[in-house]
Structure 1
């Protein structure tokens, strides 16, 4: 039992506190004792690293009131209530309020240890999930590249957390340039095998015989086959649709031979290049259904709304640093053009446009509209696609303008107020509306 997970023991009887504390300490738990609810509430807050064992009958703030206050602080905190003989109806009410479980006096110490272990395990899982969600939302590590506050990106991050911690194989699909390989890295990073091997291979490389030898080995193989190289970790197969039917059948047989949970996790990436085609059209049905039990579809850039502007700003600033020049200022008209573009190349295309905007801005020539048109020389639809509500354009541009101004002034609220001619309260309200935090710019 890890010492990092604590048990808070709350009881007005010192003998009971001491006996419970000693027993749990001998069982490997780290304990803290409190003589009353008020004292405990000062120490136990949201994300408290452990569980609570509390008597239900205490002077002052009783156990039920204590439980309700704990649930208001952190509804996922495991609380085990100790009840006296005849208090079962009260214990049932405690469970309804949110208690993890209850012990009836006189209780078996082994039963208490079992409940404490279950409670701390549940708490560890809750805190681990919260930490992962913060990592995603804060953009730490590899997750920093999964930027965006649009609803589709929020759902994507949730899917990565949920499926990353599962044990089955995963199918990732989406248009070219949407970041499918990055999501595969993220699944591995947040999953159960983050410290184990991560092996990436494109199924477009080599003919059928070469690919078969690379994947599964053979008499003439000169390298360790991928299924052995990735053993115990994650095997990512890009362009899974490029496998011949025979190799798809062989891959399926190997996957089925691993059993469940699999020793090696397969993350298959299917690239949807043709309009209207799906992975189900491109793979054997049995392989598709074996992989698609857990499936992530990446949203195209055109479906991500104001993320387009925040990503453009991010890529432009990166390029500006690389080239040692200022990032270009985006006008309201250019912001609308960026939002209207269909982006067939998705994020890769946006990154290319942002870099070229920096380069032409350094020369003092060109415009974003001309860059968008040059991206699709055969069609005039490069900057005219289906319309979006006016409010979406206004909100996206306003967010980008405040974001850029905050970056330029490094979080100086007074400077931003002066430049944008906004009173403090209005600026605060708009920053809250768009999820902008001053601390990110300091």
Structure 2
């Protein structure tokens, strides 16, 4: 059935509990009943996967006390209160405390079903958003590629959470290879439109007529993009390539949607021309409409020791794909990885890590030689601004402990033996670098 959520029914009258439960079960809900509030509280935690329907007048703990207890556990839990004739003032008080809605006896079962539908939809969205926030925090799923402990990445994750929940359109800027499209996916995933359509289209390399037909129609071959993305998210890459006339049409369409917008627009700017900005390329009214919510992705060179963490992850994945062991990174190579300018950002780092894994399988070449080849290919200088030696040492040390912990699946004794460190020193260094043993168990 479409309804996968639970409904907890709390009422001291057995016949009432059973009749409500049977009706909702026939509508596809998973119901459970409780004769009193005290029993119900034992099974209703902060992330209860459903809603509550409760009588307001019960012996012992009454419905109002029960509601207040539930709100203290989870203020976003939808609770529908059942009231008797003439109890409207009490129902109003319940709404002020936090009840989702109320039903007055004798109530229409169809109305109860409609209320249950609205409440479970609201609950599902709340739980989905919580799960996505946890996902974003621990780096699993789609958010795995947003890993990094650097301050700029912490801010990026917070920006994605904040702007994802907002209603407005978004502009994403950043150098090539920094993860702009992934960020657009993440914004959609943590927002109210998650689960709805996500349509991605690049405006680059198309003539004006083709762009107009694809975006707005009429198109004999395909449904226009604004229709494909209706009620969801439309992501326009290379927004700076959109001709002025189509920028005006896009703005008109965005304005016609009203507020909040039915379809969210996420524009991605890939401007790399020296001295030119997205603001220069767009109509001022369109730019300011988009840039009211803007995310600028950090270049890899600004992410500090994230570079070593990412290199290790990509090299291990490549070694697994190609067969063989991941390359070990020396202190000198770690310093070179941290100093490299990375004009291609994450894409370039992935390329170097994959080539390093293939070299290691053959037993030839070094990471240093790959970085030199990258320098020759890009005509970029080998180093960025110098950093204190202490920063390089700490970054290398963290990488070494992280790699060893993962290789030994969190075995402290094995790590102590390999790195020749006493337990106290290892514990202090792990605390210093934000490493937790539980993260490696079973890895």
Q: Between 46-55 and 226-235, report the one with greater CA deviation.
A: 226-235
Name the counterpart of 2:34.
34
- 1:243 to partner: Cα distance: 2.9
State the distance in 1 between where 2:223 and 2:18 align: 59
Name the counterpart of 1:200.
201
Structure 1 pair 195/103, CA: closer, same or farther in 2 (3 Å)?
closer
Tell me, yes or no, if structure 1 residue 327 matches structure 2 residue 323: no
Name the counterpart of 1:6.
6
State the distance in 1 between where 2:21 and 2:211 align: 61
Name the counterpart of 1:290.
289
Aligned residues: 435
TM-superposition CA deviations, 1:19-55 (whole Å, max 9, x none): 6656766887543222344432332223211223456
Name the counterpart of 2:269.
270
Name the counterpart of 1:248.
247
TM-superposition CA deviations, 1:284-341 (whole Å, max 9, x none): 1122123334433222223334322221111111232344332122234543443344
State the distance in 2 between where 1:281 and 1:435 align: 47
- 1:430 to partner: Cα distance: 3.1
Structure 2 unmatched ranges of 5 or more: none
Q: Between 254-263 and 298-307, report the one with greater CA deviation.
A: 254-263
Structure 1 pair 88/225, CA: closer, same or farther in 2 (3 Å)?
closer
- 1:213 to partner: Cα distance: 5.8
SS in 2 for 1:40: helix
Name the counterpart of 1:385.
385
Coordinate RMSD, CA, aligned: 4.7
Q: Between 409-418 and 422-431, report the one with greater CA deviation.
A: 422-431
Structure 1 pair 275/74, CA: closer, same or farther in 2 (3 Å)?
farther
State the distance in 2 between where 1:51 and 1:87 align: 22
Name the counterpart of 1:434.
435
State the distance in 1 between where 2:194 and 2:92 align: 40
Name the counterpart of 1:310.
309
Conservation of the 8 A alpha-carbon contact between 2:301 and 2:342: yes
State the distance in 2 between where 1:3 and 1:369 align: 57
Q: Between 6-15 and 173-182, report the one with greater CA deviation.
A: 6-15
State the distance in 1 between where 2:101 and 2:233 align: 41
State the distance in 1 between where 2:348 and 2:399 align: 20
State the distance in 2 between where 1:76 and 1:334 align: 50
TM-superposition CA deviations, 1:40-76 (whole Å, max 9, x none): 2332223211223456776776767755664565443
Correspondence 1:43-442 to 2 at 5 A: 43-54=43-54, 70=70, 73-79=73-79, 99-100=98-99, 109=107, 119-137=119-137, 139=139, 141-157=141-157, 159-160=159-160, 169-188=169-188, 192=193, 194=195, 196=197, 198-203=199-204, 205-208=205-208, 211-212=211-212, 215=215, 224=222, 227=225, 230=228, 232=230, 234-256=233-255, 265-274=264-273, 277-362=276-361, 367-369=366-368, 371-372=370-371, 375-376=374-375, 382-385=382-385, 387=387, 390=390, 396-420=395-419, 421-423=421-423, 427=427, 430=430, 433-434=434-435, 437-438=438-439, 441-442=442-443
- 1:351 to partner: Cα distance: 1.8
SS in 1 for 2:32: strand
State the distance in 2 between where 1:213 and 1:14 align: 62
TM-superposition CA deviations, 1:162-213 (whole Å, max 9, x none): 655766543221111111123334445566375646342242x145556556
State the distance in 1 between where 2:416 and 2:30 align: 50
Structure 1 unmatched ranges of 5 or more: none
Conservation of the 8 A alpha-carbon contact between 2:83 and 2:105: no
- 1:412 to partner: Cα distance: 4.4
Structure 1 pair 63/402, CA: closer, same or farther in 2 (3 Å)?
farther
TM-superposition CA deviations, 1:255-308 (whole Å, max 9, x none): 445666767654321024256654223211122123334433222223334322
Structure 1 pair 139/59, CA: closer, same or farther in 2 (3 Å)?
same
TM, length-normalised to structure 1: 0.75
Structure 1 pair 128/344, CA: closer, same or farther in 2 (3 Å)?
same
Structure 1 pair 247/58, CA: closer, same or farther in 2 (3 Å)?
closer
SS in 2 for 1:433: coil
Conservation of the 8 A alpha-carbon contact between 2:409 and 2:440: no
Conservation of the 8 A alpha-carbon contact between 2:188 and 2:198: no
TM-superposition CA deviations, 1:374-429 (whole Å, max 9, x none): 54469996334263795x65664444323312332345454334324453996599
